[in-house]
């Protein structure tokens, strides 16, 4: 029985194998350290904490594979491997993960990229395998207001009026610049046509929710320089020449994670490898202010392109003609192969997406 268990533990370790993305430098660390690494690490922790038999370890292996998806066209990294493994071995598979998206005016103008299906492809593969996790999309399109806000609209003090001033300024900018409170008009449709289990939450719809207001204020307090009488951020993601208004994007990004952690129980954030700095801030907050762990699930980018929810003119779009799609795919066989694999979980799903992926499949077939 011990030998059978050891084999199961070794196979589980394989799922967590160390790897490195050469572009971002993101790494998947190995389990344990020194002589207590690998299968011996799992054996030790199981004896001390989890008491699983070989069947239980095989179950954990299948669950871990559903998250890492080694046969998918992207690489998946969960650097918080000890935390993630502990969740699985204690029988607490993450029931939800969330993915936050910022507003992009070029996507609104030119249309969504087919690459955006990578998020749903990951969720569909996992759900088909183990039934979880539910995908929560956080629509942060309203944060675009921070890019157009004037300096006089930005609060210069941290007090009980800070949030109302921010809300007023956001409302003003969204109306005067015709910014839609929803960056993607048909996000819900993606769930319908892909068959992925999940939902959309809009930051703008929650802007008057007291719980989100509390999260924003906590986030601003966490990011501000407490030694300054004025509201100055000493923790933010971006360049030093960002405006004060643009620096508000960071606490709002942190606030969404706080809100979802407190109210939806979400402990894992899905995103591209480019989210490292934001996710580090989130983990720091959850650790220091909630006394808990937090995990990041990072996917590598489409080959040679930006994150799939941002604009990239080289990518195929849902609104492109087949001639345009064919030209884009013919010019980049690596991207064409990536996109073909992204679409595989949806080959038997829903008319609009099924038809589009079928058409693309024919183009890809002609390229082989």
Same domain, 105 and 220: yes
Which residue has tokens 């819900």? Answer: 188
Residues 60 and 202 grouped into a single domain: no
pLDDT above 70: residue 108: no
- Comparing 234 with 358, the larger pLDDT belongs to 234
Q: Are residues 63 and 114 in the same domain?
A: no
Instruction: Tell me whether residue 368 is in a domain.
Output: no
Residues 218 and 210: beta-carbon distance below 8 Å: no
Residue 168 lies in a domain: yes
Residue 328 maps to a domain: no
86, part of any domain: no
Last residue within a domain, chosen from 284, 310, 336 = 310
Which domain range does residue 227 map to?
Answer: 94-310
The reply to whether 40 falls in a domain is yes
E-only strand ranges, the chain? 19-20, 27-28, 76-77, 96-102, 134-140, 198-202, 268-272, 295-299
pLDDT higher than 70, residue 318 = yes
Q: Are residues 42 and 161 in the same domain?
A: no
Q: Are 233 and 277 within one domain? A: yes
Is the model's pLDDT at 273 over the cut of 80? Answer: yes
Average pLDDT over residues 55-84: 97
Whether residues 100 and 185 share a domain: the answer is: yes
pLDDT, average across residues 340-365:
66
Distances (CA, A) of 318 to 119, 297, 340: 15, 26, 14
Q: Is residue 85 part of a domain?
A: no
Q: Per the structure, how many domains does the chain have?
A: 2
**Is 155 a domain residue?**
yes
**Is residue 31 scored above 60 in pLDDT?**
yes
Say whether both 256 and 187 belong to one domain. yes
Q: What is the pTM of this model?
A: 0.92
pLDDT tens-digit profile of 172-228? 887 776 565 444 557 888 888 888 999 999 998 999 899 999 999 999 999 999 999
- Please report, for the domain that includes residue 197, its CATH number: 3.40.50.620
Cross-strand partners of 102: 140
Of 21, 20, 8, 29, give the one whose Cα is nearest residue 82.
Answer: 29
Beta partners for 140? Answer: 102
109 and 140 share one domain: yes
Residue ending a domain, choose from 310, 334, 361:
310
What is d(CA 91, CA 56) in angstroms, rounded to the nearest whole number?
9
At 125-149, the pLDDT tens digits run 999 999 999 999 999 988 888 988 8
Q: Which residue has better confidence, 176 or 316?
A: 316
Same domain, 153 and 256: yes
| For range 19-42, the mean pLDDT | 90
Taken as a whole, the chain contains a residue count of 368
- pLDDT at 354 exceeding the cut of 80: no
**Residue 47 CA: distances (Å) to CA of 2, 59, 153:** 12, 17, 58
Give me the pLDDT at residue 302, please. Answer: 96
Q: Is the pLDDT of residue 111 over 90?
A: no
Query: Are residues 124 and 198 both part of a single domain?
Result: yes
Kindly indicate the confidence band of residue 67, based on its pLDDT and cuts at 50, 70 and 90: very high
Asked if residue 199 and residue 70 are part of one domain, the reply reads no
Indicate whether 43 belongs to any domain: yes
Q: How confident is the model at residue 152 (pLDDT cuts 50, 70, 90)?
A: confident
Alpha carbon distance 266, 355 (integer Å) = 34
């Amino acid at each position: 029985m011990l030998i059978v268990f050891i084999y199961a533990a070794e196979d589980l370790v394989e799922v967590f194998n160390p790897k490195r993305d050469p572009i971002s430098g993101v790494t998947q660390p190995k389990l344990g350290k020194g002589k207590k690494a690998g299968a011996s690490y799992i054996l030790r922790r199981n004896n001390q904490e989890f008491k699983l038999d070989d069947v239980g370890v095989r179950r954990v292996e299948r669950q871990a594979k559903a998250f890492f998806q080694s046969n998918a066209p992207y690489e998946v990294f969960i650097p918080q491997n000890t935390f993630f493994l502990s969740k699985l071995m204690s029988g607490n598979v993450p029931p939800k993960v969330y993915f936050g998206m910022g507003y992009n005016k070029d996507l609104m103008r030119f249309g969504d990229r087919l690459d955006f299906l990578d998020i749903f492809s990951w969720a569909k593969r996992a759900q088909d395998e183990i039934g979880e996790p539910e995908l929560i999309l956080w629509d942060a399109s309203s944060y675009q207001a921070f890019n157009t806000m004037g300096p006089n609209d930005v609060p210069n003090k941290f007090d009980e009026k800070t949030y109302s001033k921010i809300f007023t300024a956001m409302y003003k900018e969204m109306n005067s610049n015709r910014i839609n409170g929803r960056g993607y008009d048909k996000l819900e449709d993606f769930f319908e046509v892909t068959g992925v289990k999940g939902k959309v939450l809009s930051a703008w719809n929650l802007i008057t929710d007291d719980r989100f207001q509390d999260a924003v204020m906590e986030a601003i307090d966490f990011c501000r320089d407490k030694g300054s009488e004025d509201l100055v951020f000493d923790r933010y993601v971006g360049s030093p020449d960002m405006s004060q208004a643009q620096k508000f994007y960071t606490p709002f990004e942190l606030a969404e994670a706080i809100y979802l952690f407190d109210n939806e129980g979400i402990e894992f954030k899905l995103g591209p490898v480019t989210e490292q700095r934001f996710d580090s801030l989130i983990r720091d907050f959850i650790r220091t202010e909630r006394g808990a762990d937090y995990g990041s699930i990072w996917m590598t980018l489409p080959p040679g392109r930006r994150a799939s929810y941002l604009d990239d003119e080289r990518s195929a779009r849902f609104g492109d003609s087949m001639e345009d799609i064919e030209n884009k795919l013919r010019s980049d066989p690596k991207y064409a192969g990536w996109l073909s694999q992204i679409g595989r979980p949806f080959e038997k799903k829903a008319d609009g997406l099924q038809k589009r992926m079928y058409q693309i499949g024919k183009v890809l077939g002609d390229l082989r």
